[in-house]
Structure 1
């Protein structure tokens, strides 16, 4: 029997799922489908996805619902489909939301008769796509692996039998990874103004060996510029996660600000610059001079 999979969210992750999930019947819902010119609408058209009139309608025949929305909408998405979930339907939550929000979403899904599985995607969705490493959590995680691997999910790891630990792992890691992005952007944009970026990068290699700091910096800064809005939202969830442990989230909150700032200063020709560090820095500094002379992240 062909499985029916409902995608909630047609952003970067949802688009990969739409392209790579083979041998299944796909339905989809995204709030942006109301705009026929949106990226979500283009994705739905490109892959001939069946979209319901609303989220409830999109999942009513699903064997598996995959939630790939923005972090702040994790619980909203679960609530939007709860009344329409078929009994026993799998609900895979891929969102970078705080543990408390994941636990609340799990309660909603389980109360509706679904089987909630938490997932923390531990790498960018590209280039591994469905093979990206995913930590699974919750009482149904082990059973879900048997269902999902034939669909192409080969990077699954049963991580915890409770909901929340996978999210905590992802978000504590994000403070470091997204923090390095923010640090590189702030450091090198200032260094470029002084003409000392080469020496700064060389000194990093002495302390933190990397194959090519210039290439790594270009990659990490371009990721912030392209995905800063989503990264900032994730870091706000990380700040909640950190605060709930009694630690003041000074760094997580600051990183969220810098990621928002990066998104607001994205060069129009980013695609052509993302592998060229110095032209990339110059393009961002040009945006700074045009829109924000002091480069203030506020």
Structure 2
């Protein structure tokens, strides 16, 4: 049985509200900027802060610039918070929920922003509710950066109605999708079969077309079939997003595959998409597309630049195995 506080408990005034972010990557930092602009106190934790890296340096610099208090653990972020927002990679969803739950005060909202399967979200909810918190499933329905805090967000679970007014005050564009846990995540996961699959297919199709010298014919045919899409521009965007965030996307699509499998289908498409996204992430981490941290990293306006890098990489002689 849930030990969560009743939903009529009132949150503090906006200027007294304390928000804790578990996950301080791209999404976490965007939310932090917009919350700080609204005058809200923000603290944050991220696993990457535990070891030296370009990402950790970026997080620390950002925290100083925007007045975000960095914490040594997810549990410590959750302890003083009135609202905890979890924005980690899909594979860390349950661990993040359990760590935050260890520090929750009764009645604290936990908004799970992560792209995880309905099963993972239900397990995360169990951990939060057992600690007396109020878990709210969030399904982010498109890419965050263009919309920032106003990204379309579906809320799910028994506390979705209770958190909606608070999120509106904070500037979120959230709407209640279902009182049943798992429903809005299933919506997100099924959508991702298409969206993340399109990213992988476009990279595969146009890189192969570039190899054969038929990319203009392929693009012309796509334009005829789908005249509402600027395929050159869309392809550039897909390449950019996968190069920059392929690791996170591959983890999400593995959750998508589990969602499809739980429906009784073999997730052939989702599994292939996850492999392509992970392959791109490996190459990005090996420096094929430039140095991560460089403002130009993965941001070429012409997909052909990145396709040519892929083709040059594939054309290199393969070294024989050692030993």
Which residue of 225, 245, 258 maps to 2:243? Answer: 225
Q: Shift of the alpha carbon at 1:83?
A: 2.1
User: What do residues 174-224 of structure 1 show as CA deviations (whole Å, max 9, x unaligned)?
Assistant: 110111111111111111011100000100112222342111111112211
Q: Which structure 2 residues correspond to residues 45-194 of structure 1 after superposition, within 5 A?
A: 45-153=64-172, 155-194=173-212
Q: Any conservation in 2 of the 1:273–1:280 contact (CA below 8 Å)?
A: no
Which whole-Å CA distance do the structure 2 matches of 1:272 and 1:190 have between them? 19
Matched, 1:278 2:292: no
1:27 pairs with 43, 66, 85, which one?
Answer: 43
Q: Which moved more, 1:4-13 or 1:40-49?
A: 40-49
CA gap 1:250/1:56 in 2 versus in 1, 3 angstroms: same
The aligned counterpart of 1:268 is 290
Secondary structure of the residue that 1:95 maps to in structure 2?
coil
Q: CA deviation at 1:27?
A: 1.1
CA contact 1:3–1:25 (8 Å) conserved in 2: yes
Contact (CA 8 Å) 1:224, 1:263: kept in 2 or not? yes
Choose 248-257 or 209-218, whichever is displaced more: 209-218
Aligned position for 1:44: 63
Is this contact kept in 2: 1:32–1:41, CA < 8 A? no
**Aligned-pair distance for 1:68?**
0.3
Residues 1:13 and 2:32 are matched in the alignment: no
Length, aligned pairs only: 292
Partner of 2:9: none
**Corresponding residue of 2:220:** 202
The structure 2 residue matched to 1:4, chosen from 18, 28, 39, is 18
Distance 1:111 1:46, change over 3 A: same
Structure 2 contact 140–151 (Cα < 8 Å) conserved: yes
RMSD: 1.7
47-56 vs 183-192, which moves further: 47-56
The question of whether the paired residues in 1 share the 8 Å contact of 2:290 and 2:298 is answered with no
> Is the Cα–Cα contact under 8 Å of residues 244 and 298 in structure 2 kept in the other structure?
no
Q: Measure how far apart 1:262 and its partner are.
A: 1.5
Shift of 1:59: 1.4
Report the TM-score when normalising by structure 2.
0.86
Please say if residues 136 and 159 of structure 1, whose CA atoms lie closer than 8 Å, have aligned partners that are also in contact.
yes
Q: Which residue of 1 aligns with 2:7?
A: none
Residue aligned with 2:85, SS: strand
Greater mean alpha carbon deviation, residues 247-256 or residues 16-25? 16-25
Q: Which runs of 5+ in 2 are unaligned?
A: 1-12
Tell me the CA shift for residue 250 of structure 1. Answer: 0.6
CA change 1:179–1:86 in 2 (3 A) is same
- CA shift digits 1:105-152 (9 cap, x unpaired): 001111111111000000111111011000100111111111111111
Give deviations 1:56-114, integer Å, cap 9, x for gaps: 12211110000001101101001112121011001000000110010010011111111
| TM-score of the aligned structures, taking structure 1 as reference length | 0.93
The aligned counterpart of 2:6 is none
CA contact (8 A) 2:116 2:252 kept: yes
Corresponding residue for 1:296? none
Q: In 2, distance between residues paired with 1:107 and 1:117? A: 11
Query: After TM superposition, what 4+ stretches of structure 1 lie above 6 angstroms from structure 2?
Result: none
TM-superposed deviation, 1:35: 2.8
Q: What secondary structure does 2:111 align onto?
A: strand
